[in-house]
Amino acid sequence: MEQVDGTTLTGVSTTTLWTLRNRAEEAAREDSSFSDPLAEDLYAAIRFDYAAFGGPSQSHALRARAADAFIERYLDRRPDATVVALGEGLQTSYWRIRRPIRRWLSVDLEPVIELRRRLLPDESAVEHIAMSALDRAWMDGVDPEDGVVITAEGLFMYFEPDEVTALIGDMAQRFPGGELFYDSIPPWLSARTKSGRMRLRGGYTAPPMPYWQTVGGAQRLLEIPGVEKVEDVSMPLGRGAWRWAPIVIGALSRIPAIRDKRPSFTRITFGKNQIR
């Protein structure tokens, strides 16, 4: 794999190198159940001062596993569905999910898509779309007839609240019977990023993340026309202390004041009788 300069990514796009490093480091561990050899190859091929992100964390690998499982469950029911990965960054989900996929749309900004085209294997099922997820043009090429499953890993928190609400509403109208998976941060973490105080141990300062969502507050999304169901998704089992995290989080989630202070994964189901 060719060597490329990671500093071509700037702003929020730089965060894709943060998550790539964490997935690759986790995949390389002998005691990890997470496998992502292509992420390891990308990590080695992209020149960047990864030390700026501080020590590695398995959190992004667990998020990737949760998203993969979400896609696979939908494809079990609707095997010809289109998969749309919004703000996909340098995720390698298509190659981790070892099953035939008819069509996979990778949507991200041009500098990220350029790296994907240069470094990732050419696959006939994978289409790269260089645009913001907020640009509804990506929706025009998606036929919901066979189903649509959408992921937005590490994306919505960088948008404004009204932008997220409007985007979910438009997806609900355009993709009846489809589903959406995304992750959210709690309000205290959003406030920390907006104040510029979320500085990692290596010196990297995370960009502002204006969109936050609590587990309890997510149910308000049911007020969006076309949203049929909103569900909190459990974190997969990790290693070490993270192996017990889903159990502990599940127990604490019975207490709203504690539950609503944690990050979360959300699954949204769109109603089947929407106007296309």
Predicted TM-score of the model (pTM): 0.93
Residue with tokens 């390698």: 92
Percent of the chain scoring above 70 in pLDDT = 93
Question: Confidence band (pLDDT; 50, 70, 90) for 224?
Answer: very high
pLDDT average, residue stretch 176-187 = 97
Question: DSSP state, 169?
Answer: H
Euclidean distance between CA atoms 146 and 122, whole angstroms: 24
Residue with tokens 């026309």: 225
Question: In this structure, are residues 109 and 131 in contact, taking their beta carbons and an 8 Å threshold?
Answer: yes
pLDDT average, residue stretch 30-40 = 95
The strand pairing partners of 149, in sequence order, are 83, 179
pLDDT average, residue stretch 156-167 = 98
Question: Confidence band (pLDDT; 50, 70, 90) for 76?
Answer: very high
**Which class in CATH covers the domain with range 58-270?**
alpha beta
